[in-house]
Structure formats: structure tokens, C-alpha cells
Amino acid sequence: MPGIRIGIDVGGTFTDAVAVDATTFELLGKVKVPTSHDHADGVAHGILAALEKLRAETGVGAEDVSFLAHGTTQATNALLEGDVAVVGIAGVGTGFDAWATGRLRSLRKLELAPGRPLPIRYAAVRDPADCDRALAGLRDAGAEVVVAVEPFSVDDPAGERAVVDRARSLGLPATATSDITGLYGLAKRARTAVLNAGIMPRMVETADLVDRSVAAAGITAPLMVMRGDGGVMSVAEMRKRPLLTALSGPAAGVAGALMGDRLSEGIFLETGGTSTDISVVRRGKVQVRHARLGGRETYLPALDVRTVGVGGGSLVRASRHEVVDVGPRSAHIAGLPYACFAAPGALDGAVLVHLSPRPDDPADYVALEAPDGRRFALTTTCAANALDVVPADSYAKADTGVARAAVKVLAEALGSSVEETARIVLRKAVGPVLAVVDELVEAYGLDRGAVTLVGGGGGAAAVTPFLGAESSLDWRIAAHSEVISPLGAALALVRESVERIVPNPSHADVLAVRAEAEAAVVAQGADPAGVDVDVTVDPQRNLIRAVATGATELRAKDRGGEVAEDDVRAAVARSLGVAPGEPEEITATAHHAVWGALVRRPGLLGRLVKPVRRVRVVDREGVVRLHGTGAHVASTTVGAAGQVLAALVDEHTSHGDGGSRAPALTLLVGPKIADLSGVLDRDQLVALIGAELSSRTPEEPVVAIVEERR
């Protein structure tokens, strides 16, 4: 059974683990064990227990495991609770530099949690070559880890690195701001580095324990850790930058939707018992931004996720006359079982009662009290099952009759029908979720007709089906949604983000940043043949950002051959919102086909506007992988691409008062979909095209999809 990928997700209550076939992505097994917060080895003990139980139940041998990744909330919890190490800031420099770093003492005012400010110590370092006294002073003041800070270290990190090397020689863990980011902004860079240092001792200790446990189990596969931006990184890299694991909880679920469910354009909703995390996938990629911690922005790249306090276990709130709201308290907080999962007949004769889940909560939450005194929670899951919108194979599926009996008690109290009461409950529940979905569709410029809602998590079917109906958006529940997070960890790609400020960057500067990101993921075990690098150049900020992703082994899914052309055409038609006979195949490679159709959309006052050609790139499994509007499609070969694509770029470059803007270009070459749309400069774009094709044979086909900038 070679080629098994294992994913482990450490939650607040349980640690889940899954085993997945590395070639087909088939789920081979899943287990759940209690999270070991109070064990001497911390959460590492639970990870090992889950791993051993999974191997025992699936028969997976140590030699079969090709990849092992885990996600943990440890860093997030430490930051949210203010449970961090004492950080010593070594401010490097004299004159203005000393004054600038001295102002970082104010970081001790930053509260991560109420009454828990950052524990900061500060020492000035005039000469990095002679810093022993300053470092000893920090250690004597209680510093457990050191951050070296110099104002312009992104240009010349030698001073910071000298201090870090000396601190480590004295037995003090240390890091430098230039190790965290290549961006300017002393305060933000230092703030990010200090937060990274604050969680470093505990995270390194956990990493060492997990590493030793995995090695003791005989597993030699690379051990990876989930990042907050949807990828994974090596344990060695995590030891240097543990902050990248913060906010990784929702990221694992999105990774599962991307890889396991092949979501390419849409909204992912991970619904638990209490809340729903909502995030965007655009052009097959998660959307990432710099996270805020302690109320301040950092340089931590993390998933752009919005959390709404509605989950599968959210409690109904009602007055004597109407449903007032749903949530934010859940059945878990109230300590009650879901009414819809009660045994048949258990709710006979039940009456409606009002309660306060916590002492300071309003007393308008409702529950059912059976004749024997047992109480049951009336939840969104109960309403969804009563309305019979929960798919039969969903984790949240309950007996429809029991669910209807539960909602009937509330309906009779309100003088309404079961169906109408259940519908009102669900509308109250999904209203805030729908508002966030609409906001994200607008913010990221998604084509609403192409958006798919994908639900994950144990409570997915309590929210997503009804939300899809209310919004008229396509929807589906992710396969194995109840273990979407460990599944995402198992399938996630190695990821690295490199950001640099380069005034008036040349195409050589852009290629250098691209090469740095690519080398970083390869160094962490990614197969060079499968690395994708997305480059964005922001000319207003002189910012170059390269995000590289790659698998630790070259994977090719095989689910039993290609999909029939009629099925592909039907999938494209649904995505485009046209009749099944309208899409036509424009061109194809061995791995992808490009389909298109002329689409009319209503304009102002319902008038039809000029038709626009929209295209869809479909892989050989019939999955739509890319959406394009007003796109031009050209086919060539690698050998001829230099001249052909340069002319294509020139033809579709737009010109205006603000200068010229190269078109948004995507290349289909081999199995890769290379998105080069983040580059506006013509020379930089042509240089990146050359970089993408440099390792290909001259006769290999290339398809370019070009969209002019508006």
C-alpha cells in the first residue's frame, strides 16, 4: 500500500486523522481521539495516538507513508490568550536607528488578550560585533527569546544576523525581522517578528516532540505543518517561523476543498457546531491577506476568512409570537443534545422551555423538555432536517420524522406550520452568512453565475443547502465534509510566499523573486517538476510578491479515465449559464480543454448588452479549473511561443492616461495552469512567460488565454 498521505488536525476537543491514497485521493480511513492538552507532551501525545490508531485500523505500514502533515490551533490559541514567551528586543544601530528601534518599547502596550500585554524587554546594541552585554541583560531581565531589529535590515541584514548568531551561541533562541519578511515598515515588521518569537519556544518544543514521535514510529516521510495561508511547510521551516501556523484552522478546510473537491471558483463555508468560516477561492487559489493580531496589522500572510456565529448547533431564540434570532450560543454551550438526533418517540409530549445558556445570556433561547425531564436543543440542524433539505449521505442527516416532531413543538407555540417555522429559522440563521457571501463576491469580483458554494465541516448540511436555495447559487457538500480539515492537511501543497520592495523593478528583479520562492518550496521537499509560481507586481507600491506551491511528490489523479464530451459540455454550460448546446471546444492540450460561448447578461433596466465570449478551462476529469471573460485564446508551441506570445501581449495591451497595462494572461502548458495575471508591465510579463516555458521541449503545445484590462 505505497504512497499514503496522512493528515492530522488538532482541534480544541478532538484530534482527527485521515489516510488518503496519494494518487487517487481516495479516503482510506479516519479516526478521532481526544486532544491531549493536559498531557506532559501536550498536543504531540494526541497526534501520536491518532497516528497509531489510524495505522492500526487501516493497516498502513510506516514504509507506506509518503507524506504526513498536521494542523494545530496551538499558535492561534497562544496568541488569542496572550500566553506567549517573554521577548527581548535587541535594537541595532546608533543615532536615528537607535531612536527608531527604541520606540519599539511601546510594543509592551499591545494586548493580545484583555489584561495580557506583550511581555517585552529592550536592550540597545550599538555594535553587533560586541553585543554580549546587551544580550546578557535581556536574559537577566527574563527574556526567553531574542528578536534582532535594525531599521533597514531588508536591504542589509548583516547586523541582525550577527546578533542572532551571537544570541544562539549563548543559548538564547533568536530570530531577526529580516527572516520574517522582506518588506519595509519597521514597526509592522518588528511587531510580526516579536509575535513570531513569542510563540517560538513552545512551538519548537511541540515540533521536536512530534518529530521524535513520528521517527519512533518508523515513518521517514517528510513531516509538514499547516500554514495559515492554505499550504504546508516543513517542520524545519516552522521552527524558524512558527507564526505562519497561526490562523491555520480554516486554511486546512479550504485546502481540502481545493484539492479533494477541486473547487476553482467559489465560496467555501466550513460549518462547525457554533460558527461558519467563509473564504474565497478564485481561479483555483485561496485569497490571502496580511492578518491582524492584537488589533494591529502584521506581515503574517493568512487566509482572508470571515467568521459568522452560526453553526449546525446554533440555538433558536424565540418570543411568544415569533422567532427572534438563531445563535450565537450553541447546543454545546448549553450542554444539550440536538433534538433531531433523539430516539424516535423520545419527544412525545415534549414542551417548549426558555433558558439562558450562560448566566449573562438573554432568556429567550428555546429548548424542548420531555416528560421524563430530559432537555433537547432546537438547532439549525433540526430545522434543516425538518425541511428535508439535508442530503441523505450528509454527516448532519437525522430522522426527518424526529426533526419534524422537534420543530412542531415550536411551531404550535407560534401558531404556525412545521414547514414555515423551519423555513423562518433557517432564514434567520443563513441571513448573516448570505450577507458575507455577497460581500466577498463583490470584493473579489467573482462572476456570480460561476460561483459555487461548497460546504465543509460537520454542520455543513445544516447551512449550505438552504443558503444555496436562498441565494440561487450552485452548491454542494464537500466529500467527507466532517473530516475536511485533516483531509486538507493530507492533500495540501507546500507553499512559500516571498515579498520584496524594489523601486522601479526590472524584469530581472521580478525573475529573481520568482526564483527565490520556487527554490524555497523545492528546499522543503516539493517536486521541482510540479511547482507553480504566481507573481504579482504592484507598481504603485514597488512591491513584488511571488507565491510558490508544489507537491512533495508528483501526483497524477486517475479516477477511471476521461469524462464523456457531452458531460463536459453540460458542465461548461452550467458554469456559463447557457443552454447545453451552446458551448464549443476552442482548443485543447493533453491535460486541458478550452471551451467558450457568447453570453448575454442583463444590463441596466433589464436591457441585454452586447454578448461577451466567456471561456472555461476544463481538466480531463470534467472539472472547470479556470473562468475567463472577454478572453482571447491562442494556441502555439513552446518553440514558437516567444515571438507569438510577445505579439499577443502587445496586441492586447491597453493604453490610457495612466500608462500602458499588459493583459491578464494565463498559460496552459503540460499539466500546469500558469496564472500570470498579476503583472501589468509588458517586459516583466514576457520575461515570466520565458521562465514558465524554459524547462519545456520546443514541440510541446502551449495555449494562452488573454483578457484585456478594463
Instruction: Report the distance separating Cα 310 and Cα 459, nearest Å.
Output: 10
Averaged pLDDT of the chain: 90
In the predicted structure, residue 559 carries a pLDDT above the cut 50: no
Q: pLDDT by residue (tens digit) across 93-118?
A: 999 999 999 999 999 998 888 888 99
- For residue 161, what is its C-alpha cell? 544576523
Instruction: Report the distance separating Cα 509 and Cα 446, nearest Å.
Output: 31
Q: How far is CA 9 from the centre of its chain?
A: 14
Amino acid at 42: G
Q: Which of 36, 11, 74 is nearest to 274 (CA)?
A: 11
In the predicted structure, residue 554 carries a pLDDT above the cut 60: no
Q: pLDDT by residue (tens digit) across 619-662?
A: 888 888 888 888 899 999 999 999 999 999 999 998 877 778 99
In the predicted structure, residue 514 carries a pLDDT above the cut 80: yes
In the predicted structure, residue 250 carries a pLDDT above the cut 90: no
Q: How far are the Cα atoms of 44, 69, 451, 568, 708 from residue 210, in angstroms, in the given order? A: 5, 11, 39, 45, 50
3-class SS letters over 160-221: HHHHHHHHHHCCCCEEEHHHHCECCCHHHHHHHHHHHHHHHHHHHHHHHHHHHHHHHCCCCC
For cell 479550504, what's the residue? 254
Query: Bridge partners of 608?
Result: 602
Instruction: Report the distance separating Cα 214 and Cα 43, nearest Å.
Output: 14
Render 21-57 in DSSP notation, one character per residue: ETTT--EEEEEEEE--TTSTTTHHHHHHHHHHHHHHH
Report which listed range, 33-42, 269-278, 397-406, 650-659, is most confident.
397-406
Nearest 5 degrees, angle CA 434-CA 435-CA 436? 90
What local confidence, expressed as pLDDT, does residue 298 receive? 92
Q: Band of the pLDDT at 3, cuts 50, 70, 90?
A: confident
Q: Which of 511, 500, 551 is nearest to 689 (CA)?
A: 511
Q: How far are the Cα atoms of 96, 407, 431 from residue 424, in angstroms, in the given order? A: 63, 11, 10
What local confidence, expressed as pLDDT, does residue 386 receive? 97
Cα-flanking dihedrals φ and ψ of residue 165, to 5°?
Answer: -60, -40
- For residue 163, what is its C-alpha cell? 546578533
What local confidence, expressed as pLDDT, does residue 322 receive? 93
Q: Band of the pLDDT at 709, cuts 50, 70, 90?
A: confident
Q: pLDDT by residue (tens digit) across 563-613?
A: 788 888 988 888 888 888 899 999 999 999 999 998 876 555 555 567 788
Q: pLDDT by residue (tens digit) across 211-233?
A: 888 888 889 888 899 999 989 99
For cell 433557517, what's the residue? 426
State mean pLDDT over 231-250.
Answer: 90
Q: What is the CA radius of gyration of the chain?
A: 27
Compute the Cα dihedral for 669, 672, 673, 674 and give only its sign: negative
For cell 471561456, what's the residue? 615
In the predicted structure, residue 263 carries a pLDDT above the cut 90: no
pTM: 0.85
Contacts for 107-111: CB closer than 8 Å, 24+ residues apart = 107/190, 107/191, 107/194, 110/191, 110/294, 110/295, 110/296, 111/82, 111/294, 111/295
Q: pLDDT by residue (tens digit) across 156-208?
A: 999 999 999 999 999 999 999 999 999 999 999 999 999 999 999 989 988 88
State mean pLDDT over 18-26.
Answer: 88
State mean pLDDT over 545-565.
Answer: 71
- For residue 349, what is its C-alpha cell? 409530549
**Residue 561: which residues within 8 A CB-CB, separation 6 or more?**
none
Percent of the chain with pLDDT over 70: 97
In the predicted structure, residue 387 carries a pLDDT above the cut 70: yes
Amino acid at 170: L
State mean pLDDT over 4-23.
Answer: 88
Per the CB < 8 A criterion, the answer to whether 699 and 637 are in contact is yes
State mean pLDDT over 71-76.
Answer: 85
State mean pLDDT over 236-242.
Answer: 91
**Residue 123: which residues within 8 A CB-CB, separation 6 or more?**
88, 89, 90, 91, 134, 135, 137, 138
